[in-house]
Amino acid sequence: MSVAHLGPGYDFPSANRAEGYGGDINFYIQWEQHLLIACPSAYRAPPDMIFGDFLEQLFRPDYAVHPDCAQLDFGQCEWRYDQQPWQPDLGKSLRDNGVAHMGFVQFRSPGLDGLHGVGN
Amino acid sequence: MADKVFLALQNNPDAQPIIDAVLEDNPGAVLNETPGMVKIDCPGRLVVRRASVEAKLGRDFDLQEIHVNLVSLGGNLDEDDDELVLSWGS
Amino acid sequence: MAKKKLGLKERYAALTRGLDWETTYEPMDEVFPYDRYEGIKIVDWDAWADPFRLTMDAYWKYQSEKERKLYAILDAFQQNNGQLNISDARYLSAVKIWLQGITPLEYVAHRGFAHAGRAFRGAGARVACQMQSIDELRHAQTQLHAFSHYNKYFNGMHNFAHMRDRAWYLSIPKSFFEDAYSAGPFEFVTSISFAFEYVLTNLLFMPFVSGAAYNGDMATTTFGFSAQSDESRHMTLGLEVVKFMLEQHEDNVPIVQAWLDKWFWRGYRLLGLVGTMMDYMLPKKVMCWKEAWEIYWEENGIALFHDLGRYGIRLPKHHEVAGKEKHRLTHEMWTTLYQFGNALGLHTWIPNDEELDWFSEKYGELFDTMYKPRLLYLRELEEKGERYFNNRLPMVCQVCQIPVFFTEPDDPQTQCVRIVEHSGTKHHCCSDGCKDIFEREPEKYVQALIPPQQVYRGEAGGATNIFEYAAWLHLERDVDTGEYRGSPDHQHWLEWQRRHKAASPDEAA
């Protein structure tokens, strides 16, 4: 399907295309079964940033409110990227791990299953 | 049972004669009160009759006066000078 | 003998038939360029009828009577310090959402109906759009008048028009209406008069406004019911326009069905805010969101769709998902608003024990096992002086623009995220409903300005974090934003109540 329109050609570039980020990328991450944090989080970061550094320097402080966060070992997590199984190398950059603009990273932390037995 | 139509009016003295007339003219009608308003639900069809409202009011009544105290309605509407009808089904 | 006064049907016919004409200097399609490109086929415009058969003189007469009643009450409310008689100052958060999010919609609806009225070549449709356009302007004005009194005493209401164009949570209602009025006139009228007003606004103007009455807000109650009586005309016309399209040509049926699918879902998503106002922002409760959904959608809304079954119309897609979400929608929405409170022009809080008990009674086991412990944990943090704010910008749905907090229809422990792609760029949706809407018109939704992305692209006044962003919205930190307890609104309220009680010997004792 496409948009019903008058006149020729109804096509516009995405408002959020990669060129708007001056070389950085905009991507998203979600810690599954930890619904105390209501939504996946959005980040802007340079693609050369080491994935492990991103997780420790940006992600972990944002999620420090959750009591599971202190014990969180990213090396033990089960990862997905754009909803497909994924095995990132924490020592490599976002780019080398395949994290692209508008990418969606999700992980589970076996043994740390959220609060109250219901993934809070 | 037929799906219900409804008429909701502000719960004030102006609307009371209309509410009374509707409840008398529509045996299946049920009055639901919440703060500030009443909702009258009725299976299939509900009628507001000008003559019945006039009998309660003791004066002439134009059915379009209902707009002043109307809150909402559900159902296919048909209105003429004598009746306002809400119904489901053709 | 002189002819008797015309009857209602004759008066309406005199207003809407035979006053227009076929143009000759210019082709009709050039004069009315917008009423055909959507694919809707109209054989006979004269088949359009307003079931209320309201004529202009009657319209002015009853509208002016409504205005006199309304303003008499607003005057009384203001002169008698009505703001002191509300149940609790927490209630004002609902008023703030209304002012910031809903009142601007009324104004946009005014513009939209003015445009649709110009676009239709049928006189009946033009008259209907004209009345509705005037109604909508009236709603915007009466709401602003009513709320202006609260603005003297409470924070967060000082710059609603500025906020409307910038704030992330106001992009939810804003994008809804911009989607509608950037469509053609038939889709616009279907979206607003039918899907939004007929199917959904009852939930705002009936249980919520009834709740406003119960919480002592005479101003909102009065304009709310006064506006809703206009809405009942709009709803009636909305149903009429849908039946008109369906009766005019069988080719219209699939187009109308697709619009009903789209606008039911968009309207339902928008109503999540209303549900949250009802459940969390009304200190005294009338009915919960779940009950309201059952009455106004599952009973009254579905009855309407049964009636349209004779034209080949089925229930809107994904309506069953809304049924599954009714147990959790407002709890998920509130904890989202609560944690992003540093960028909200209203206050949030953890409900008190009495309110938690009410939720348990209304929502049962799911509330007790999931949301109550979540709320109590957040309360514990607050009591330790660590009130939680999520200061990291969230993922937002490309269609409804709500932060992606919804959970899977059959699994309230797993967040629901759908990835869509168009022209090589990925986007995210909160649900299958929004994903379907995106995929039907991807060229439209890729243009959406998604607030967190605007921030990261440097298009939000250069803000780089949530506090700079809030300042760009003209929100003062911890005055307009943040936690209710201890806020200036809360402190003022306590002081006013203290003085009130001190003046009353019975209560002071």
Inter-residue contact B18 to B53 (CB < 8 Å): yes
Residue C332 forms contact with A (CB below 8 Å): yes
* C47 is a domain residue: yes
Of C394, C426, C442, the CB nearest to A42: C394
Confidence category of residue C505, pLDDT binned at 50, 70, 90? low
Tell me the average pLDDT of chain C: 93
Q: In what order do the strands lie in the sheet with A25-31?
A: A41-45, A25-31, A104-108, A78-81, A84-86
B contact test, residue of C300, C302, C310 with most B CBs within 10 A = C300
Residues 6+ apart with CB under 8 A from C391: A62, C342, C465, C466, C467
Give the pLDDT score at C500.
82
Query: What span, in angstroms and rounded, lies between the C-alpha atoms of C395 and C492?
Result: 36
- Provide the residue type at C358 as one letter: W
Give the three-state DSSP class for A9: coil
* A76 is a domain residue: yes
Inter-residue contact C65 to C149 (CB < 8 Å): no
Collect all residues of chain B within an 8 Å Cβ-Cβ radius of residue C209: 36-37
Entry pTM: 0.95
Interface contact flag, A33 C332, Cβ < 8 Å: no
* C14 is a domain residue: no
Quick one: average pLDDT of C257-286?
95
Residue A85 forms contact with C (CB below 8 Å): no
For residue C265, what are the domain limits?
Answer: 31-81+91-151+183-317
Domain count, chain C: 1
* A102 is a domain residue: yes
Instruction: State the Cα angle at C437 between C436 and C439, rounded to 5°.
Output: 65
For residue A78, what are the domain limits?
Answer: 36-108
Residue A5 forms contact with C (CB below 8 Å): yes
Angle between helices C103-119 and C171-181 (to 10 degrees): 0
Buried/exposed C472-491: b ≥16 CB within 10 Å, e otherwise? bbebeeeebbbbbeebebbe
Interface contact flag, C229 B65, Cβ < 8 Å: no
- Would you call C237 exposed, middle or buried from its count of C-beta atoms within 10 A (0-12, 13-18, 19+)? buried
Collect all residues of chain C within an 8 Å Cβ-Cβ radius of residue B74: 202, 300, 303-304
Residue C254 forms contact with A (CB below 8 Å): no
* C104 is a domain residue: yes
Give the CA count within 13 Å in the CB-facing half-sphere of A26. 27
Q: For C430, which residue in chain A has the nearest alpha carbon? A: A39
Residue C54 forms contact with B (CB below 8 Å): yes
Q: In what order do the strands lie in the sheet with B70-74?
A: B30-34, B37-43, B4-10, B70-74
Domain count, chain A: 1
Give the three-state DSSP class for A79: strand
Give the pLDDT score at C229.
81
* A99 is a domain residue: yes
Residues C479-491: tens digit of each pLDDT: 999 999 999 999 9
Rg of chain C, C-alpha, whole Å: 24
Inter-residue contact C387 to C381 (CB < 8 Å): yes
A contact test, residue of C40, C168, C395 with most A CBs within 10 A = C395
Residues C288-331: tens digit of each pLDDT: 999 999 999 999 999 999 999 999 999 999 999 999 999 999 99
- C434: pLDDT strictly greater than 90: yes
- Say which residue, C266 or B90, is predicted with more confidence: C266
Give the three-state DSSP class for A54: helix
Residue A21 corresponds to which tokens in the numbers above?
């980020």
What domains are defined for chain B?
Answer: 4-87 (3.90.56.10)
Residues C462-473: tens digit of each pLDDT: 998 999 999 999
Give the pairing type, strands C425-429 and A41-45: unpaired
In chain A, % of residues over pLDDT 90 = 92
Residue A15 forms contact with C (CB below 8 Å): yes
* C108 is a domain residue: yes
- C494: pLDDT strictly greater than 60: yes
- B64: pLDDT strictly greater than 80: yes
Chains that touch C (3 or more CB pairs under 8 A): A, B
Determine the distance from the C-alpha atom of residue C99 to the mean position of all C-alpha atoms in its chain, rounded to a whole number. Answer: 11
CATH of the domain at C241: 1.10.620.20
* A20 is a domain residue: no
Of C54, C214, C306, the CB nearest to B64: C54
Q: Minimal CA–CA distance to C486: which of C355, C356, C389, C385?
A: C385
In chain C, % of residues over pLDDT 70 = 98
- B32: pLDDT strictly greater than 80: yes
* A45 is a domain residue: yes
Collect all residues of chain A within an 8 Å Cβ-Cβ radius of residue C393: 41-42
What does DSSP assign to residue C393? Answer: P
Give the pLDDT score at C226.
80
- C170: pLDDT strictly greater than 80: yes
Query: What span, in angstroms and rounded, lies between the C-alpha atoms of C101 and A34?
Result: 30
Residues A58-84: tens digit of each pLDDT: 999 999 999 999 999 999 999 999 999
Residue C220 forms contact with B (CB below 8 Å): no
Give the pLDDT score at C509.
45
* A83 is a domain residue: yes
Tell me the average pLDDT of chain A: 96
In chain C, % of residues over pLDDT 90 = 80
- C400: pLDDT strictly greater than 90: yes
Three-state SS string across C180-237, please?
A: HHCCCHHHHHHHHHHHHHHHHHHHHHHHHHHHHHHCCCHHHHHHHHHHHHHHHHHHHH
Q: For B87, which residue in chain C has the nearest alpha carbon? A: C307
Query: What span, in angstroms and rounded, lies between the C-alpha atoms of C235 and C128?
Result: 11
* A115 is a domain residue: no
CATH of the domain at A68: 3.10.20.560
Collect all residues of chain A within an 8 Å Cβ-Cβ radius of residue C450: 15-16
Give the pLDDT score at C3.
63
What does DSSP assign to residue A56? Answer: I
Chains that touch B (3 or more CB pairs under 8 A): C
Confidence category of residue C276, pLDDT binned at 50, 70, 90? very high
Give the pairing type, strands A25-31 and A104-108: parallel
* A49 is a domain residue: yes
Interface contact flag, C306 B88, Cβ < 8 Å: yes
Distance from CA of A29 to the nearest CA of C (A): 9
Quick one: average pLDDT of C93-98?
95
B contact test, residue of C307, C311, C313 with most B CBs within 10 A = C307
Quick one: average pLDDT of C123-131?
90
Q: Any idea of the CA torsion for C48, C54, C56, C57, to the nearest 10 degrees?
A: 150
- Provide the residue type at C135 as one letter: D
Residue C306 forms contact with A (CB below 8 Å): no
Confidence category of residue C1, pLDDT binned at 50, 70, 90? low
